């Protein structure tokens, strides 16, 4: 079974600080990887995704993530956070199970609070 771990549950940063949120997954096969963001009171929105190719992917709002296959990791980064980045961030893995269906597993989320 696939699983996703997000080790940072709550992160507090000052504006302009750099951000890195960890995500590790457990699955032996081919995976698609995602980061979603949930702003307070809103539904989830896609930040970025990795399917194949360049392991460094860029998303919206200046976010990027690097897929390191050997470490089963897909960490999210942003060089300089803003107050408006205050939100909860979810890493997700999409992998085909033995039946060929697509199960999606989310991490438990990381709450980011940016202090002006």
- To the nearest 5 percent, what fractions of the chain are helix, strand and coil? 10, 55, 40
Task: Give the C-alpha separation, 87 to 27, whole Å.
Answer: 27
Cβ 43 to other proteins, closest distance in Å?
4
Does 104 bind other proteins (CB under 8 A)? Our answer is yes
How many residues interact with other proteins (rule CB under 8 A)? 24
Which one among 28, 29, 43, 116 touches other proteins, defined by CB under 8 A?
A: 43
Query: Under rule CB under 8 A, which residues in 55-94 are in contact with other proteins?
Result: 90, 94
Q: Are strands 102-106 and 31-38 parallel, antiparallel or unpaired?
A: unpaired
Binding string, residues 1-20; x marks residues near other proteins by CB under 8 A: -----x--x-----------
Count of CB atoms situated within 10 Å of the CB of 65: 26
Task: Give the C-alpha separation, 22 to 68, whole Å.
Answer: 12
Residue with tokens 């990027």: 64
Cβ 26 to other proteins, closest distance in Å?
14
Which one among 49, 62, 72, 86 touches other proteins, defined by CB under 8 A?
A: 49
Which one among 7, 18, 51, 61 touches other proteins, defined by CB under 8 A?
A: 51
Helix (H) or strand (E) holding 103: strand 102-106
């Amino acid at each position: 079974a696939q699983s996703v771990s997000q080790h940072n549950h709550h992160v507090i940063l000052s504006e302009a600080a750099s951000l890195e949120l960890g995500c590790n997954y457990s699955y032996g096969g081919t995976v698609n990887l995602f980061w979603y963001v949930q702003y307070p009171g809103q539904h989830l929105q896609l930040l970025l995704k990795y399917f194949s190719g360049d392991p460094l992917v860029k998303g919206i709002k200046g976010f990027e993530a690097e897929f390191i296959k050997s470490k089963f990791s897909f960490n999210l980064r942003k060089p300089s956070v803003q107050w408006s980045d205050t939100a909860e961030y979810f890493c997700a893995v999409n992998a085909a199970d033995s039946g060929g269906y697509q199960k999606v597993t989310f991490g438990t989320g990381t709450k980011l609070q940016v202090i002006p």
